[in-house]
Amino acid sequence: MDSRTVLVLLWMLLSSSTGIKLDGNGYVDVTIAISSRVPQDNTLIDKIKDMVTKGSIHLHQALDKKVYFKEAKILVPPHWNSKDFTKARAESYEKANIRIDNANPAYGDEPYTLQYDECGAEAQFIHFTPNFLRDDKLIKTYGSRGNVLVHEWAHLRWGVYDEYSETKPFYYSNGRIEATRCSKNIKGQFYDESRQPCQTDPQTLLPAKGCKFFPNKYQNTDSSIMFLPSLDSVSTFCRENEHNYEAPNLQNKKCGKATRTVIFEDSVDKDALRSLKPLLSSPPAPTFKVVQRMHRVVCLVLDVSGSMTGSRILRQQQAATHFLQTIIEDQASVGIVTFSDNANTLSPLTTIDSESTREKLIKLLPKVAAGGTYICKGLTLGLQVLKNDNGNVIGDEIIFLTDGEASDNINSCVPAAIESGAIIHTIALGNKADKALREMAEKTGGKFITASDDILSNQLLHGFSSLTIPTGDQTKDPVQIDSAGKKTSDWFNGTILVDKTIGTKTSFTITYETSLPDISIQSPSGSTYKQVQMRHDEAAKTVTFKVPGTAQPGDWKYSIQTTISQSLTITATSQAARADVPPIVVKAHMNQQFSDGTKPLIVFAEVSQNYKPVIKAEVWATLESESGSAQELQLLDNGAGADAFKDDGVYSRYFTQVKKGRSSLKVRVKNLDGQARFTIQKRGGAPYVPGYVVNGVVELNPPKPPVSEEPLEVGRFTRIVTGESFEVAFTGTTPPNFPPNRITDLSAEIQEDSVLLNWTAPGEDLDYGTAKSYEIRWSFDLKELRFNFSNAHVFNTSAVSPQEAGSVEQHSFIPNITIQNGTTVFFAVQSVDKVNVKSEISNIAQASKMLPGPKPTDMPGLDLKLMFIAISVCLATVVIIGIIAITTWALSRRKLSGS
């Protein structure tokens, strides 16, 4: 890389990027997007402003007066009408930090944050429903909207987890029953929802199902927001000296430390929070900008330099044809610019208003290539074409493709392009494309895509297909069903499955390399479509078949025959079959867009339909380097290794066999055997409080609104999706070695005199391979395991041979002492690899030995009632005795006076 490229890259890294940032003490670039499924209601904008304004005050109080909300942008849907909205720049629904959308079936109106990365990592987004913002009755149920926002912000920004648990609301602590909470200083009582004393579960000897912890309305503690933000006294996060390490909540399982410790030591803001000085006065009120993204305005800026000759210019033409024919939506405006030694406008901005308009644009696509790679000439002309519609380029898009390093000084144009307000998607074709492409996309809110020279992988076509700007209504977004390729001199046959959630605007795109093959496509009912019914673009060597109406669900069979050896590909896309039923969708991404090798790379694929997770699907990721070498990984939803939660529809895996340079990500999802299921799974969110104890009396809150229970069946389906590309740079010639991954699902059960431990086996290198050995320890003191693991009691594991990563490990051990009834014991595991590098200590599992007998010593609801009855009886007795004594004394006086 020459010095001018280094300078511009440094400039970009120091300049602002999209996403939340701290500007002094204030958070800026916070984007709150309203889904296009939400009907226009301008009062929602006022409600959002009020929530953020009040939330800023709570946030300022919660973190030592160090931070607050300074600026926020509210993105309204394209169909909302008002002259008060300004044009959106990089803001989009897909990249918004906070979403206002219809309810998730598992949560109803309960706010929640989608997080599935490691502790301390930023989450995906916060979800509020319009009803939560409008219905003031929900304030009593969940607390003030400002406090709820701070609770969810801690999930989103700092990667902390909830300190309550709906699945394990109670636990034993050395014979006493405790409510799962942080801190233990929060006082309350146990009752069922009819305000009767709780019954005991005969199996666990814990409070039976239906028992709730009712906190006292008035507390003597100010923490913690991650437990109960609805309590008036709660204003801060749990500190290390008050953290309840024993509570079986997600904060302990995922982080194993106090919330404040994570925020100040592990979060993205850790350095800033430690160095920031508290504000000496109250923070200023946040400022807001209401923005709107209308129809798309896109300019294709395509490289036609000499290195694009041959297969590259053809593949560029095929991918752009597919984009114009199938992906870009109606009413969008599209222009085309090419560049080499000079830049040329092949088409000014043209509105997509008919099939004939699409055809005219496709015919203009470049077919020949020659000359140098003058990036600035192409970029400058592309911006000029975008400016011709309204005088500016704010919120408009450039799709910029190149296969070579710049022949000109990119420092003369790239910074200005970044500052222009346009969104710049960049596509790097081959391994010599300029290094500035990734940063240019990152700094403008665009997508960065790489594509190798492997024709059969279809990467370039997939890349163009992924360049959409969703608005929140997934029924209007294109879905990639499947894709396949083959080099053959004979038959290329296969099946593409159209499932019940899609079918509108279904198209099959076939590309060939040399000469037109014979193509036949058969519907599930047996109707056969021949080549004469398909569109053939001889110049682009592309055949497109658009299914009339709504495609019939089932297996569509294709038969392609060639008489000469050539590469053939087929790609199928579609949209939702019904306007009221979103399709099954897949979102794929890496946890890092740029890695220096010090932190493991993780592949994520989220499979869902209208927020309902799809579980038990078969998910494979293909990671292909710019040199063309590819690696396949099966992604897992098993709650182990890189996967944060089992059966949440997010499939994950560590990527350990990394290559230097840029790589692409493609994910293929299948449910051909019918094993996949929908799940209505709730994992966190703003806690619902059933009621409070006020002066010893339970006051119930309004009942929690019921959530829908929808059918759990998922039909057969396939999907293929392209994620943004990523770049890896590490010292040396070999990838870094990592220790075995941390075990996060250790569980323990005391069985008579032995302990049964279960966990998922880690690998030799994170979740790849097989570890060498385990070190398992136990203690009566949780903090000893947490902070002084090597001093805890050790189990003899010489007979335990670790299994391959992902396998179930189940082993029984006998402690060298007798565990007494009522005793709680804690357990933890470390894995060791072949060079004796140890993993992080696992989550700490706990088990209690509880035998039937006297009821547990701590049932606060029962104690309070009995105490109240006893005191009442005593008081009544005292009153009666007093009355008798006074009456006797009075009668005695009368008798004496009478005598």
Query: Which residues are identified as catalytic?
Result: 152
| CA separation, residue 618 to residues 441, 448, 609, 672, 714 (Å) | 31, 26, 16, 9, 13
Is residue 540 within 8 Å of 314, Cβ to Cβ? Answer: yes
Integer Cα distance of 35 and 610 in angstroms: 12
Q: Residue 111 contacts by C-beta under 8 Å, 6 or more apart in sequence?
A: 126, 127, 128, 129, 132, 142, 148, 152, 685, 686
| DSSP SS3 for 136 | coil
- Both tokens of 890, joined, read 């009075």
Q: Which amino acid is at 96?
A: A
CA distances to 346, 375, 432, 438, 871 from 401, in Å: 15, 10, 12, 12, 81
Distance CA 669, CA 647 (A): 15
Rounded to whole angstroms, the Cα distance separating 422 from 90 reads 7
> What is the C-alpha to C-alpha distance for residues 365 and 377, in angstroms, rounded to an integer?
18
Check residue 378 and report its DSSP letter.
H
Give the phi and the psi of residue 669 in degrees, each rounded to 5. -120, 135
Q: Which helix (H) or strand (E) holds 662?
A: strand 661-671
Give CA–CA dist 809/827, Å, rounded: 15
Q: Outline where DSSP puts E strands in 21-70.
A: 21-23, 26-28, 30-34, 68-69
The end-to-end CA distance of the chain, in Å, is 123
Token pair 């990036």 is at which residue?
A: 375
Q: Give the single-character DSSP code of 410.
A: G
Residue pair 338/320 in contact (Cβ under 8 Å)? The answer is no
Query: Three-state SS across 283-320?
Result: CCCCEEEEEECCCCEEEEEEECCHHHCCHHHHHHHHHH
Rounded distance, CA 697 to CA 716, Å? 54
Q: What is the DSSP letter of 188?
A: E
**Tokens representing 443?**
């700094």
Contact 459, 720 (CB under 8 A): no
Q: What is the DSSP letter of 452?
A: -
Q: What pairing do the DSSP bridges indicate for beta strands 542-546 and 554-561?
A: unpaired
Helix, strand, coil shares, percent, the chain, to 5: 25, 30, 45
Residue 839: cis peptide before it, omega within 30 degrees of 0: no
Among candidates 287, 304, 370, which has minimal Cα distance to 339? 304
The per-residue DSSP string of 543-599 comes to EEEEPSSBPPSEEEEEEEE-SS-EEEEEEEEEEESBTTBPPPEEEEEES-SEE-SSS
**Local structure of residue 868 (DSSP, 8 states):** H
CB atoms within 10 A of CB 330: 11
Distances from the Cα of 199 to the Cαs of 86, 164, 192, 206, 849, in angstroms?
59, 21, 8, 9, 20
One-letter identity of residue 472: G
- Classify 236 as helix, strand or coil: strand
Could you tell me which of 145, 219, 234, 229 has the C-alpha nearest to residue 188? Answer: 219
Assess contact for 649 and 679: CB atoms under 8 A.
yes
Residue the block writes with tokens 């063309």: 628
The H or E element containing residue 335 is strand 333-339
